[in-house]
Amino acid sequence: MTRLSSYPWHICGVGAIGSLWASALTTHGSTVTLLLKGKTQLAQYQAAGGVNVLSDDVHTCIHPKAFIPHSPPTEKIKHLLVCCKSYATLDAILPWRQHLAHDAQIMLLQNGMGSAQELQRALPKANIYCATSTDGAWRKGPFDVVRAGHGETFIGIFSDHLLDAEIPASIQSLLQASQDSDDHKHKPPAPILNISWHTDIRTPMWHKLAVNSVINALTAIYQCPNGELINHPQGWPRLQQLCIETQDVMARVGIVPLGQGLLNTALRILQKTALNKSSMLQDCQAGSPTEIEAINGYIIEQGALYHLPCAGHKQVCEDLRRICAS
């Protein structure tokens, strides 16, 4: 088996999930390099003393090299993991454009949809892969992350020109490392990533998008943790309507429905994560931009192709924009 260290990864977007992956990849032998936004974030990284991750009561601290656009790495970027917010994708990647190898593999691990299409238009020859994950993590502070739950990550091809290509060796090594971690009987010293290849990555991406679209914005609108939506007099009926609209759009675009149905799946997740705050609620409370356009906005765009009004999703977008602007 080829060791992970044969495939160095650059990570752009070192928030909760980016930090989790940086820690896991480093501990499993890969050379990780952080691509930061600028001097302010670099100072935060230096003040934090590295990337700190608490997973299953095990604390790890790694110290990968970090660069900013004005002081870039000398080596070419061959494997790029992008974990930034979907709306920031182009602004995050384009400053590093001249440092990308001509055959670089770019893997997007983000909420929402639409950013891959935008990136492919900007870089037509780019080799783009998409990943979607149900791992949970939250930030205590810059480069200080707590893992909130173990999930599964699917990786698949996005770029049309890659459809007949084999799984690249760098991603095969991630799949193998995940399998090796599953085979270990002892408790690992670092976060484990449960990674699988998916031949139609669009399906799990849509399934995650669907769940996020009926939960996240409503928790931000009503300023409540996930579980409170279940008995919310206004929120629960709106969630039910969003489920109907989302399933209609998914059927039109040819996506296999969730096995238990979207409403039952959303209810199960709300019960399981009752005390959690959605990322959209956290962004709203922090005064940061939200990913509403890449989630509910994307469903509205897809519905419009089939003349579906998506009135519930449009109202959610309007409500959230008003709240965030106030």
Catalytic residues: 208
Residue 79: phi and psi, rounded to 5, are: -135, 110
Q: What are the backbone dihedrals phi and psi of residue 211, each rounded to the nearest 5 degrees, phi first?
A: -65, -45
- Burial letters 47-79, b for 16+ CB under 10 A, else e: eeebbbbbbeeeebebebebbbeeeeeeeebbb
Tell me if residue 195 falls in helix, strand or coil: strand
- Distance, CA of 161 to CA of 164 (rounded, Å): 7
Backbone angles phi, psi at 67, to 5 degrees: -135, 160
Check: CB of residue 66 under 8 Å from CB of residue 10: no
| CA nearest neighbour of 65 among 74, 56, 78 | 74
Separation of alpha carbons 205 and 290, rounded Å: 18
């970090």: which residue's tokens? 66
Pair 107, 155: CB distance under 8 Å: yes
Cα–chain-centroid distance for residue 179?
Answer: 21
